[in-house]
Structure 1
Amino acid sequence: MSAQSDTNVKEPLVTTSVGVSAIAAAAQQAFSRMVRVSERERVAWLFALADGLDAHTEELQHLAEAETSLSRIRLRGEIARTSGQLRLIASVVQEGSYLEAIIDHADDRMAPPRPDLRRVLRPIGPVAVFSASNFPFAFSVLGGDTASALAVGCPVVVKAHPGHPLLSRRCMEIAGEALHRVGAPDGVLALVEGHEAGIELVEHPVIKAVGFTGSLEGGRALFNRAAARPDPIPFFGELGSINPVIVTAATDRVRGSELAAGLAGSFQLSHGQFCTKPGVVFLPFDSELERALPAHVKSNSERMLTQRIADGFRERSKDLLSVPGVSVLAGEPTLADAQTVRARVLVTDTRVFEEHAVDLLTEVFGPTTLLVRYATEQDLFDALHHLSGTLTATLHAEPDEDIAELTRVLEDRAGRVLFEGWPTGVAVTWSQHHGGPWPAATSTFSSVGATSLRRFQRPIIYQDAPDAVLPPALREMNPLGIPRRVDGSYTV
């Protein structure tokens, strides 16, 4: 529970190479102790962290407001989500099936004879976690990556995001105090700061996995470094998404105006700085939604999370408008000299979209969306086949429409397929998945939901092992009382 920083310093600090090595060594020592820590103790750690966040809500909200410009309501909700996520992960550990305990007893009747085989998931080792800018709590110091790694017994070293350094340091202090109170070993959670420190962390031999939420460019660079190590390690990245929305012609006629209000609320939520923001919307020519949407587009400028994000938004907006056949439907020009930008809606058709799909499907992080008009259902299907991997895909259709083929196209490209509703907002539940095919994510398992723990575990088999040396999850009498598969049958 350490941080190479001073909470009274407002500018991002740099953790030296010596500091990174010291923190990594402490994490390695902590891991050697954590493998002997019981599930009950790790559950207590997670609850203590959740309680610590809740107890400091007012203080943390003010710090986050000052550093991110996010609203008080948004931040308080995110703190509650983060503490709730910690408690959900604790309940996953308590339930026990995350260990995937499997026992096949010896059987001499088989050919060849089967030995006693027992399989369980074990922690992979110290984990590096990279904080995100747009969720200063839920995907930061005590976010889903940290929660799921600690839950399975992996120490965590967090790379703080430079967009909210004071908040990161204070969260780490609160976490350290909470973990100390419940007897967690030193070194289970630490913080580093600085670009080079992040790279050194990914390349450090002690680190056995990386969790990352951020840009495609930054994530791909770190992904390549993780793969290029002498001992390559898994990189679990969520790298951005276009999140397409499809509106059928029938639905547009029936409730296009209503959908316009919903779309406007979704793509402008938090000024478009959600990874699940709907970035492209397929709708029919002569659309009711298109006619109604301009009235819902905000005319005021809003401050982005960082200057870099604001500059990136302006640059990508210009790139889109440089494509022949793309025009502005609504929204003022973006400001050129500030961290504030205005919302904008662009429009084109499927012919232009198919010809320039690579350019038009590059994520624009900020308050904009692209409407793509289609003339026929075949035009729509042809355009959809140009979509790459995405976190979400949303379909608005009427109850009597046959949407089976549309659904098949979307499920091939998205990690979450929505029917009605809007993709912004990710419920933290046992069933939730927050990933998708490349470039949305780099792994099957994501940082949200019960299966997030699976990223930081590896299977190990014990063959003909004495009961006394087995992990409790595999001992014959099932002392943990967890669900297990024994000789092919699932038992509780």
Structure 2
Amino acid sequence: MTEVETDVGAIAQRAADAAAPFAATTPTARARALLAVADALDAEADELIRVAQHETGLAPARLQGEVRRTSAQLRLFAEVVIGGAHLGVTIDDADPSYAPGPRPELRRMLEPVGPVLNFAASNFPFAFSVAGGDSAAALAAGCPVIVKAHSGHPELSIATAGVVETALRDAGMPEGTFQLVSGQENGTALLKDDRIRAAAFTGSGRVGRMLADIAAARPRPIPFFGELGSVNPAYVTAGALAADDSLLATFVGSVCGSAGQLCTKPGFLFVPETADLAAVATAASAVAEHRLLNPGIGGAYEARREAVLGTAGVEVLAAGDVRTDDAGQRWATPTLVAIGVDDLVSAGDAMVEESFGPLSVLVRYRSIDELPALHASLFPGNLTSTVHAVESESEDLAALVRTLAATSGRVLYGGWPTGVAVTASMQHGGPYPATTTDDTSVGTAAIGRFLRGVAYQNMPEALLPPALRDANPWNVPQRRSAAGLSQDWGTLNGQY
């Protein structure tokens, strides 16, 4: 395996040196660079997938889909960069008659924050790793990126970084635009380095909170966008169960996808206390064993599973199993249990912790009316929450849906949360403890995490960034407020 540079000072300085010239690249040049990375990843996909399968144990079909998602995301972000709307350009003309008082000429836009440190995830070796969403978003914003490689797939990290670095260099981007570092100490040292201006992380709550605290305790604190995990509760009504006899089977399929190692896996399913759950065991019995990502994750899952099975009031629907091979890797089949509301509440935090693997808890509830307060007390921050119901039950669900929206980044009606669309309207984030900052790490809005607002007052045209000039050489959308408009405030165009 090729060695990764460990001189974090030199790495940080190269990123700092690249920041200004990379931020100044035209939208066309930056978009072409993103497209070059996408094309290069697709060209090397077969070899990268071979390495990824060996290191992670994930199936080829899953990895192929992940590469397609990663390259498509880069192409989507290239479209955003060319369009320019993400820069939020606004121009207020000077207005001596402005209602609150004379207004100077003001021009505002979003500009790159500077070098970004990305802590790669283990469970998505492409989509949330070296060339994944955080890296793509930062590059699209115009920020140099340093990726801290995940120890679960070191060879893949080096290979992918080589593809990205070469593509960016060949596209004419500055040296230091993209770099890779490995090792916990090096990642922590970079997080403390004043030349790093923002950081992103996807991983465990314990590590994510530790890193977030480091970012906040710096002499100059920086934004830290950490995705820390989620239990993603789902709620099923009696009407939904009666209308769809495959509902429990599709739930099991969502729990077991990629061996349950997905941040959007439904960790809890609330069902009426009279529900027949026999279909859960039937569906689970058809799921073949799957290797967990690495020995560390496998060991943590095994301990978590034992804790759940040992909780008072738990009814085993599908016991599942965990097998350890000669290399220390764990192979698991699904474990699904049921518990009553009272026993769940009595168990407290010990039961509602995320189980990262093919395990989920079905909770028998008495009435829909008890669900809003129960959800608010047990699940204060989630990436997703889901409701399965029929239309005639909508009125009864209004309070629950309001509660889910207050505590979750994405609220689903029907379906399961383990598919995350890369699009403009996606929100992949949620209130703490799902994330450290309630923002999104998926979709085009993710670019905004690595931009900051700057206003220019009475600035000569020649000194303005291109996007703010009247000539508008980058041809980006400009929202302009002409002088005199404040005289019509309060009329609402005659609508009141």
TM-score range, shorter chain: over 0.9
Partners of 2:376 and 2:407 within 8 A in 1: no
Corresponding residue for 1:435? 429
2:417 aligned to 413, 416, 423, which one?
Answer: 423
Following the alignment from structure 2 to structure 1, what is the Cα–Cα distance between the partners of residues 141 and 368? 48
- Secondary structure of the residue aligned to 2:475 is coil
Q: CA RMSD in A?
A: 1.5
2:476 aligned to 465, 479, 482, which one?
Answer: 482
- Secondary structure of the residue aligned to 2:107 is strand
Corresponding residue for 1:274? 262
Partners of 1:15 and 1:197 within 8 A in 2: no
Corresponding residue for 1:193? 182
Q: What is the deviation of 1:482?
A: 1.9
Q: What is the deviation of 1:125?
A: 0.6
Following the alignment from structure 1 to structure 2, what is the Cα–Cα distance between the partners of residues 61 and 415? 31
1:207 has 2:196 as partner: yes
Question: AA paired with 2:387?
Answer: L
1:93 has 2:81 as partner: yes
Corresponding residue for 1:67? 55
Corresponding residue for 2:229? 240
2:330 aligned to 336, 339, 358, which one?
Answer: 339
Corresponding residue for 1:127? 116
Following the alignment from structure 1 to structure 2, what is the Cα–Cα distance between the partners of residues 45 and 335? 45
Matches within 5 A, 1:263-302: 263-288=251-276, 290-298=277-285, 300-302=288-290
Q: What is the deviation of 1:476?
A: 1.6
- Secondary structure of the residue aligned to 1:323 is coil
- Secondary structure of the residue aligned to 2:168 is helix
Following the alignment from structure 2 to structure 1, what is the Cα–Cα distance between the partners of residues 348 and 463? 57
Following the alignment from structure 2 to structure 1, what is the Cα–Cα distance between the partners of residues 473 and 288? 61
Unaligned stretches of 5+ residues in structure 1:
1-5, 8-12
2:361 aligned to 347, 351, 370, which one?
Answer: 370
Question: AA paired with 1:339?
Answer: R
- Secondary structure of the residue aligned to 2:189 is helix
1:309 has 2:297 as partner: yes
Corresponding residue for 1:77? 65
Corresponding residue for 2:390? 398
Corresponding residue for 2:491? none
Identity %: 44
Aligned residues: 475
Question: AA paired with 1:341?
Answer: A
Pair 1:376–1:35, CA change in 2 (3 A): closer
1:460 aligned to 446, 454, 474, which one?
Answer: 454
- Secondary structure of the residue aligned to 1:52 is helix
1:413 has 2:404 as partner: no
1:358 aligned to 340, 349, 363, which one?
Answer: 349
Following the alignment from structure 2 to structure 1, what is the Cα–Cα distance between the partners of residues 200 and 363? 34
- Secondary structure of the residue aligned to 2:8 is helix
Corresponding residue for 2:374? 383
Q: What is the deviation of 1:112?
A: 2.3
Q: TM-score, normalising length from structure 1?
A: 0.94
Following the alignment from structure 1 to structure 2, what is the Cα–Cα distance between the partners of residues 154 and 333? 45
Following the alignment from structure 1 to structure 2, what is the Cα–Cα distance between the partners of residues 339 and 332? 13
Corresponding residue for 2:41? 53
- Secondary structure of the residue aligned to 2:322 is coil
Following the alignment from structure 1 to structure 2, what is the Cα–Cα distance between the partners of residues 200 and 300? 42
Following the alignment from structure 1 to structure 2, what is the Cα–Cα distance between the partners of residues 70 and 333? 18
1:138 aligned to 127, 131, 140, which one?
Answer: 127
After superposition, give the CA deviation of every residue in 1:50-96 in whole Å (9 maximum; x if it has no partner). 00001111111111111111111111110000000001111111111
After superposition, give the CA deviation of every residue in 1:123-152 in whole Å (9 maximum; x if it has no partner). 001000011011000101111111111111
Corresponding residue for 2:490? none
Q: What is the deviation of 1:355?
A: 2.3
After superposition, give the CA deviation of every residue in 1:93-137 in whole Å (9 maximum; x if it has no partner). 111110011111100112521100111101001000011011000
- Secondary structure of the residue aligned to 1:385 is helix
Following the alignment from structure 1 to structure 2, what is the Cα–Cα distance between the partners of residues 444 and 304? 29
Partners of 2:312 and 2:347 within 8 A in 1: no
2:217 aligned to 221, 225, 228, which one?
Answer: 228
